[in-house]
Amino acid sequence: MLHRDLHLDFNEAFAPQQASGISESELEAVTPNFIQVHRALTAMHEIGQVQFMHLPLLEEVISHVEQRAAELRQNFDTLVVLGIGGSSLGAKAVEEAVLGPSYGSPAAGSKKLYVLDTLDPDCLSRLFASLDLSRTVFNVVSKSGNTVETMAQFLHCWELLRQKLGAEASRKHWIMTTDPQKGVLRQIANQENLESFDILPGVGGRFSVLSPVGLLPSAFLGVSIRELVEGAIRMIKRCQREDLWTNPAGMLAVVAYLLAEKHGRKQLVVFNYAERFNRTVEWFRQLWAESLGKRYDVEGKEVRAGITPVQASGPRDQHSQMQLYVEGPADKMVMLWSQEKFDTDLSIPKLYPEIESLGYLGGKTMGEILHAELSATEASLKEAGVPSFKLSFYGPDPYSLGQIFYLFEIATVYAGGLLGVNPYDQPGVELGKKYLYGRLGRRGAEEFGAALARKLKNKRYVI
């Protein structure tokens, strides 16, 4: 397997290339802030306080996951992950990118993975009815062990399996991935004597893809988790450099920060030209939004920070959202994603050479046209004065994906430092969880239940 570095091209984010881009003086002015943020991260990392950066080095955990996944592959055909948010998006991203396009058919491979981040009863019951439960293993993934969606699914499936397979036999069909000590999921794993994996206490959901949260489902599918991890380690190494121009995550964070804060580009459109990476964009969207969208800075001052990630897919959105990006409000920057190499390519036959509007396509390949589309988008954005930058990676291989995961995880932490917010918490999400507990009558959340009823009482503008 080729191990190629991903690269970033920031030319169209800077003046004079891009008239509305970042100036050299702006970059110079922010560089000391970046160095400070970088040094703080390095110092915390060195004393073991940035646990997500240690995940790729936990050899014992990685080997254990590999060994258990190999055994599970012998006994089961399907893995169902019950989890949501950071507990689900990484596995989905790996499945789609590495195993193949989910375009029109499930990802290729002999094993199946279903990640249930929904409560839609129609979808769930259809899936449950289609499963051969005797060949299915369930992996409940929840750091807190409290999440309503995940726990509701767990309770339903727990009973389903007990009824279909029997209480004792069904135990072998469960694996819990959760905090080593805290939470109700850990309690149940202990009480019911179920197999479990730990999520390190210092690793939040959206930073957990290279823990057993993402590694176990990936290894079950036959993905080389070694290569994923090697890609991540390579990116961590590249991001050890204090020199901004050689630190990919540093540049990414600084460019996004400057465009948002100094140029009013508060929306970050990820225009992805690699179909198999659409779920990786979803994963990124959650990481970036949940980490940076904060009302208060670390000193408690109200700042309303955040750069809104927007997902777009090329070439589809060239015929949809592109109009808005080019001529609409000047509040967007665009990050283009380009996959250099495809597993296969399709040629266009040289038919109708005499017809002007068809003849020029003959002899080209689909991959070639896709790359041309990206260049055309880049040029249109440039002409429209929309700053852009480009992430290019070699292919849909685990090594590239591992680099992408860590590029964005580290960039998110840097961006949090530049914005002065804590990238690791999510009080806005927790608030929603509290209201939901209140609405569903959980003991201890009565106050939120009553507040919710009060807030939603006066509906004057309903037609």
Binding stretches for ligand PA5 (CB under 6 A): 84-87, 142-144, 147, 150, 204-206, 290, 426, 429
SS3 337: strand
CA pair distance 158, 194, nearest whole angstrom: 12
Q: Which amino acid appears at position 156 of this protein? A: H
The nearer residue to ligand PA5, 150 or 247, going by C-beta atoms, is: 150
The nearer residue to ligand PA5, 85 or 309, going by C-beta atoms, is: 85
Using Cβ positions, the residue closest to ligand PA5 within the complex turns out to be: 205
In the bound complex, what is the minimum distance in angstroms from residue 291's beta carbon to ligand PA5?
A: 8
The nearer residue to ligand PA5, 203 or 251, going by C-beta atoms, is: 203
Cα–Cα nearest to 188, from 142, 129, 119, 235: 142
Terminal CA-CA length for the chain: 60
In the bound complex, what is the minimum distance in angstroms from residue 437's beta carbon to ligand PA5?
A: 13
For residues 94 and 220, the answer to whether their CB atoms sit within 8 Å is no
Q: Is 230 a catalytic residue?
A: no
Written as one string, the DSSP assignment of 91-134 is HHHHHHHHH---SSSPPSSSSEEEEE----HHHHHHHHHH--GG
In the bound complex, what is the minimum distance in angstroms from residue 141's beta carbon to ligand PA5?
A: 6
Cα–Cα nearest to 141, from 71, 74, 214: 214
Q: Which amino acid appears at position 366 of this protein? A: M
The nearer residue to ligand PA5, 243 or 430, going by C-beta atoms, is: 430
Residue count of the chain, please give it.
463
Q: Is 45 a catalytic residue?
A: no
SS3 175: strand
For residues 54 and 290, the answer to whether their CB atoms sit within 8 Å is no
Q: What is the DSSP letter of 101?
A: -
In the bound complex, what is the minimum distance in angstroms from residue 88's beta carbon to ligand PA5?
A: 8
The nearer residue to ligand PA5, 147 or 170, going by C-beta atoms, is: 147
The nearer residue to ligand PA5, 4 or 206, going by C-beta atoms, is: 206
CA pair distance 290, 207, nearest whole angstrom: 11
Choice among 299, 301, 319, 356 that is catalytic: 319
Q: Within 10 Å of residue 21's Cβ, how many Cβ atoms?
A: 26
Choice among 12, 290, 378, 409 that is catalytic: 290
Q: Is 433 a catalytic residue?
A: yes
In the bound complex, what is the minimum distance in angstroms from residue 109's beta carbon to ligand PA5?
A: 25
136 token code pair: 């299915």
In the bound complex, what is the minimum distance in angstroms from residue 431's beta carbon to ligand PA5?
A: 12
Residues with a catalytic annotation lie at 290, 319, 433
